[in-house]
């Protein structure tokens, strides 16, 4: 439990870095240097304003200097990243019950934590700007490819070649599907960034979890889309532009991938017992 708490706090700190990363991406500002500033009065933040999560509650969501409101996005992302890191640790512990402190456990954790961090950053960026930036999509794809190579090398005795082949095929299949949607709709249903993200998810999770991630994201996307459509009807009648027509799909893909990583195996078991 002590280690779990440690990873939670580590996740909160990474979450606060992801907030800065998403805001500075594309502005030309350095992500690692320059210190955090209040976006309103531009004053540099000092301790204790720099403590992630806690500071938001100390200052009750306002800048300590100019008093302007601070977006709830910051503590929400910090808390969510902390929770995701904790769950990743618990999930990986299940796989390596007898050797919590060996090299492979730590590498597995850091790898999945890095993938989850990129997914979280991609989601926030997609919600804010309706696009998935290459600076986040490419590292995600490269890390996913690295995991395929790792599988090929380390699990060669247990059919690693077949597994790696499956992962590559699932990634390319998902990419082709999203690229087709993008092409047919001329980018209105899906962006090309979604296709890149799906490629990385397929390479990372393989068969059957990659497909499970895809199904999770489509179901949740459909449910949320229908809800937004219903709630936007009164506004549509007044001729106002609705959110549902510009629902970014990146966050659903990201959530689907994480859900598949956490509970995908159980969902697949359940499905096959139900129908076969
Ligand atoms: Zn301020």
The mean pLDDT of the chain is 87
Q: Are residues 273 and 142 in the same domain?
A: yes
Q: Both 164 and 265 in a single domain?
A: yes
Could you say which of 97, 129, 161 is where a domain stops? 129
How far, in Å, from the CA of 133 to the mean position of ligand 1?
28
pLDDT, one tens digit per residue, over 155-184 is 766 677 888 899 999 999 999 999 999 999
Q: Do residues 136 and 125 both lie within one domain?
A: no
> Looking at per-residue confidence, does 68 or 251 come out higher?
251
Count of beta carbons in the 10 Å neighbourhood of residue 167: 24
Ligand 1 is an ion; residues with CB less than 5 A from it = 38, 40-41, 63, 65-66
Dump pLDDT digits (tens) for 44-65: 888 788 888 888 888 888 988 8
The dihedral region occupied by 34, where left means phi > 0, alpha psi between -120 and 50, and beta the remainder, is left
pLDDT at 245: 56
Range of the domain at 93: 1-129
pLDDT value for 244: 46
Whose tokens are 């005795």? That residue is 157
The verdict on 79 and 157 lying in the same domain is: no
> Alpha carbon of 221 to those of 8, 119, 252: distances in Å?
28, 16, 6
| Identity of the highest mean pLDDT range in 99-103, 127-131, 236-240 | 127-131
Question: Strands, DSSP E only, in 83-229?
Answer: none
Q: What are the tens digits of pLDDT across the range 183-193?
A: 998 888 889 99
- What is the pLDDT, as a whole number, of residue 33? 67
| 34 CA distance to ligand 1 middle (Å) | 16
Are 156 and 276 part of one and the same domain? Answer: yes
Q: How far is the CA of 48 from the centre of ligand 1 (A)?
A: 14
Distance 30 CA to ligand 1 centre (A): 20
CA–CA gap between residue 276 and residue 267 (Å, rounded)? 14
> Which residue do the tokens 């320059």 mark?
34
The domain tally of the chain equals: 2
Q: Are residues 109 and 228 in the same domain?
A: no
Q: What are the C-alpha distances in Å from 58 to residues 5, 207, 240?
A: 21, 46, 39
Distance 88 CA to ligand 1 centre (A): 35
Query: Are both 154 and 247 inside the same structural domain?
Result: yes
CA of 162 from ligand 1 middle (Å) equals 55
Domain boundary among 109, 129, 149: 129
Same domain flag for 149 and 272: yes
**Same-domain check for residues 33 and 161:** no
Q: Are residues 87 and 191 in the same domain?
A: no
Whole-number Å distance, alpha carbon 38 to ligand 1 midpoint, is: 5
Q: What average pLDDT score do residues 69-93 get?
A: 93
């Amino acid at each position: 439990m002590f280690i779990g708490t440690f990873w939670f706090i580590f996740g909160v700190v990474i979450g606060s870095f992801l907030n800065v990363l998403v805001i500075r991406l594309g502005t030309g500002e350095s992500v690692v240097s320059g210190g955090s500033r209040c976006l309103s009065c531009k004053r540099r933040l000092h301790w204790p304003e720099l403590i992630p999560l806690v500071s938001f509650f100390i200052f009750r969501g306002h800048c300590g200097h100019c008093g302007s409101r601070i977006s709830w996005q910051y503590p929400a992302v910090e808390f969510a990243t902390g929770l995701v890191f904790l769950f990743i640790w618990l999930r990986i512990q299940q796989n390596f019950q007898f050797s919590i402190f060996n090299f492979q456990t730590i590498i597995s954790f850091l790898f999945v934590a890095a993938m989850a961090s990129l997914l979280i950053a991609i989601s926030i960026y997609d919600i804010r700007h309706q696009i998935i930036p290459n600076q986040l999509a490419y590292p995600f794809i490269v890390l996913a490819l690295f995991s395929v190579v790792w599988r090929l090398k380390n699990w060669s005795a247990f059919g690693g070649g077949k597994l790696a082949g499956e992962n590559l095929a699932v990634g390319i299949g998902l990419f082709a599907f999203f690229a087709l949607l993008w092409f047919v709709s001329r980018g209105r249903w899906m962006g090309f960034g979604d296709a890149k993200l799906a490629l990385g998810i397929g390479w990372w999770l393989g068969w059957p979890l990659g497909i499970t991630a895809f199904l999770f994201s489509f179901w949740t996307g459909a449910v949320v889309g229908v809800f937004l459509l219903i709630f936007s009807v009164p506004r549509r009648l007044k001729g106002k532009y609705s959110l549902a027509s510009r629902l970014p799909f990146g966050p659903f893909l990201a959530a689907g991938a994480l859900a598949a990583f956490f509970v995908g195996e159980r969902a697949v078991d359940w499905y096959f017992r139900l129908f076969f």
